[in-house]
């Protein structure tokens, strides 16, 4: 199994509507060949639930269940590599949780403005988005990372279909509740009503930019750091492979 590991933060923000917070495109163009599980200090890399690699807290290495004989130098290199893998999961989880939280906050603000006359509908919208965003927790936590599951979740047709429906419903409600009234006001020369609506929309846009841009940039920096950590894992993995060539076909990070 090979899975493209894109920056989780940006994936979440763009998928859940918080792309307004960041216009930059950050991605980690690497593949991760395995799911990762942490049990204390024990690392397990698996493919379709089949264990391929186990690295213990004392830097013992098992490949397909067979313990490998390593020199002290090889164990040291393995330990440096494993240390970064252990850091990857909590770092990725932090970014994903912060990005999801920001996305939900943005969605809540958008619906509160566009559906201000229908708070029950707005809350229903937010609840649906919350439910969808929560699905990412099935694939990422402090003790597991499912790269393939994350990609399938964000790129799956059901996920995209759900968000298309959410956006469509909100736009339809907004148009039905506001545009017709504004057009009618314009036709009868009610400039005050039209100007009030325009100012409301302008103020909303400015508030969204002010509120979310800085937060989005902070998350983006963490996303960039996450990419750097993945690249560092890749580099240390290559160093270990040079010292222990049997590990070459078990590499976690591929390009």
- Residue 215 to residue 99: CA distance in whole angstroms: 9
In this prediction, residue 86 carries a pLDDT of 96
Confidence check: pLDDT of 40 > 80: yes
The pLDDT tens digits for 151-186 are 666 665 455 566 666 666 666 666 666 665 666 666
Cα separation, 203 vs 75, whole angstroms: 59
Residue 148 vs residues 35, 184, 220: alpha-carbon distances, Å: 8, 51, 22
pLDDT tens digits along 6-28: 444 444 444 333 443 343 444 56
Q: What are the residue ranges of helices labelled H in 8-58?
A: 8-15
Residues written for the chain: 255
Average pLDDT over residues 60-71: 97
Task: Note the pLDDT tens digit of each residue in 67-97.
Answer: 999 999 999 999 999 999 999 999 988 888 8
Give the Cα separation of 89 and 134 in Å (integer). 17
118-123 contacts at long range (C-beta below 8 A, 24 or more positions apart)? 118/173, 118/177, 121/173
What is the DSSP secondary-structure string of 91-138? Answer: HHHHHHHHHHHHHHHHHHHHHHHHTTT-HHHHHHHHHHHHHHHHGGGG
Mean pLDDT of 187-191: 66
């Amino acid at each position: 199994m090979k899975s493209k590991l894109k920056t989780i933060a940006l994936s979440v923000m763009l998928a859940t509507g918080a792309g307004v917070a960041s216009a930059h495109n950050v991605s980690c163009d690497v593949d991760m060949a395995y799911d990762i599980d942490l049990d204390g200090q024990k690392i397990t890399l698996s493919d379709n639930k089949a264990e391929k690699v186990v690295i213990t807290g004392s830097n013992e290495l098992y490949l397909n269940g067979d313990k490998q004989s390593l020199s002290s130098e090889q164990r040291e290199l393995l330990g440096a590599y494993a240390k970064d893998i252990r850091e990857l999961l909590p770092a990725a989880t932090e970014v994903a949780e912060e990005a999801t939280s920001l996305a939900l906050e943005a969605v809540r603000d958008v619906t509160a403005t566009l559906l201000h006359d229908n708070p029950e509908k707005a809350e229903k919208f937010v609840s649906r988005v919350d439910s969808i965003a929560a699905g990412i927790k099935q694939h990422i936590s402090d003790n597991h990372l499912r790269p393939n599951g994350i990609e399938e979740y964000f790129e799956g047709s059901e996920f995209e279909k759900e968000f298309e429906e959410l956006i469509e419903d909100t736009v339809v409600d907004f148009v039905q509740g506001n545009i017709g009234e504004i057009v009618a006001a314009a036709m009868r020369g009610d400039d005050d009503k039209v100007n009030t609506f325009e100012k409301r929309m302008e103020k909303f846009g400015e508030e969204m930019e002010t509120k979310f841009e800085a937060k989005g940039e902070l998350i983006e920096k963490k996303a960039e750091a996450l990419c750097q950590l993945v690249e560092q894992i890749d580099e240390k993995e290559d160093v270990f492979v040079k010292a222990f060539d049997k590990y070459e076909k078990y590499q976690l990070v591929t390009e």
